[in-house]
Structure 1
Amino acid sequence: MQALLMLVAFVALLQLSTQTEYLSSSEDICRLFPDKTKLRKPGYCDRWITCKDSKSSDGGFCNGQLFNLGKGSCQKSLESSDTYCKAPCGSKSNGYIGDTFNCANWYFCNKTTVLSSGICSNGMYFDQNKQMCLYPKDTICNAKFELCQIVPTGVKIRDEHNCDKYITCKAGKATTTTCPEGLYYDVTSGNCIKKSLVPCHKIPHPIEVCGTKKLAKRNVFVSDGATCRGYFYCRDLGSGVPDPTPAWHQCPLEFFFNEERAGCEARVDRKCAEDRCDGRGNEYELAEIPGCQHYIKCVNGAESGEILKCDDDMYFDAEAQRCTTTMKAYGICTK
């Protein structure tokens, strides 16, 4: 059991810390950056790209020079900490070796000395096993890079595994920053904003969501601390062993999670400190104001900040999504 727990914890840590991208990936690197961000073009040392609408576009080419990440411009040489463009020749290298960051590049090495280098033509890749250039369909491109190898110092990177965090790089090393409580990182604006306004597919675990080693929460459902409908299930891993990777679940649309009852409760009867428009799209949501006459305008599943009120002799019908003359008495708006 202990070995299994250590493996689970290691996998969770790996998911949080990995920053490796593969050159052959179909995902665009600009998904992680705001518009106008300037990056080194993955797989190249002499050119850069700019981001627009989460897509990469060619930014420029350094004719006879290299793109210096630290200065964000073309320079004759790179900073000492910039190892991305370093030839892969090592003390045990002998013969042809494929590049680690561009599948088309090759080097002919005599230990650490580069005797010659080149680039496969016609869109071909260098195959390390066959020691020759082949068409992409006949070989596999394993060229990869770390985010800090293409990102200038201080540029914010969206952390795909934690909505409340972002990453910055300095001298090739990554630092993770957590947004203030109640905020998520918004890649569009490059700022931490109200979490209900940021689409989050992996709700971050609240601190000690499943308890501590002194008092672990076992075989229970707990609120996700971020949404009205979401909750985590903490597995029973034994006394003093809080679940490090609790599974996230969500109540159906018309229900909110009630931690005291460890279950889902009708949203019209359950007060919630988070965004009540959770799941509503561009509809309306009953407000937690006595009298049951007030309702909230939802925009893309988030509170717009606009609270509306029915006429004095009318009440908001949560099911019909409109004001009616029928008196309503929901749990969240009755005195």
Structure 2
Amino acid sequence: MKGSSIIRNAAIQLSIFAIIALVPQTKALTAEQTCPLVKNNTYIGDPNDCQGWVFCTNGKAIYGKCNDNLFFDSANGVCDYPENVACNLNVETMCAGLTDIYKSDPNDCSKYCYCKDGETKCNKCPSGQFFDPNTISCVWATSSSCVANSPCLLAPNGFIGDGKTCTGYLRCGSSRVLSSGNCEEDRYYNPLNGMCDYPENVKCPGSPSKPPVSSEHIPPKDLCKKDGQFYSDGETCRGYFYCKNKGDTAKWGQCPKNSQFNEATQQCNDPEKVLCTKDRCDGTSKSFMAVANTNCKQYFNCNKGVENGQGTCPKDHPYYNEKAGVCQTDKLDYPICS
């Protein structure tokens, strides 16, 4: 990059200065900011130490460290050899061994650095803009792929709260945001259990004292035999009944879109990891979903979350890979393919 793109961006800044008020946070999130967004008793990365981990319990952060000079891999929640872990906590470690290349500042989306022969020279984008590592230029913040200010940077793969709204959630993968979404109108996203929950069960500003009641899903009598237990609703792939206390009347809820409820794990999992024989198009953004009990040789045609017929993979590629979205030659070991 010669700097011309930065100059061009600066030239148009004055004409659209009004959007600056909408620019999201530029700085990297702290562990204390990230913990309330993840499931209870989850390990995340320490933003100040490549060897460090943080145990998030009840929204609080407890710090620790990997042994034997290992680095903590936040995406997979394990301590691993440094060469297997991408840890860029500061400009110095980020530029080590690199030359003639531009990199984002790992702690500030508005900054970028030029790495050459182990030395760095850093600059800041014009006000209201972030450095985009994909285009190697300063762009308006809403268009940038910078992850320094994303909670996914420290969190493990899976669903977490977006930290902005009561209903919003993110799906993280490899320290990046893979997708985002919102719970239904009468539900809030509950980071402690990773599900769309009744507002009274979620600590969020403005949460009503009494949740709306759904008359469409009636729990079986005497379902709640344990405290804090989730049960499949038996009618949908995403729905579940939640028993806060033993002897309660269970309350119905749903997993976020593009996930399904797994009673065995008591979590919302990727659809291919759940053997559900109900409507598998419900809540998915995919165009095709495998049909249960067919060894993944058949698939549903899904249109905006609604089933619209079925299909069969060709004989030379007989197995439908739901995760990849293709028919393939090799058998699959996903639970839905059993």
Q: TM-score, normalised by structure 2?
A: 0.38
Q: TM-score, normalised by structure 1?
A: 0.38
Larger Rg: 1
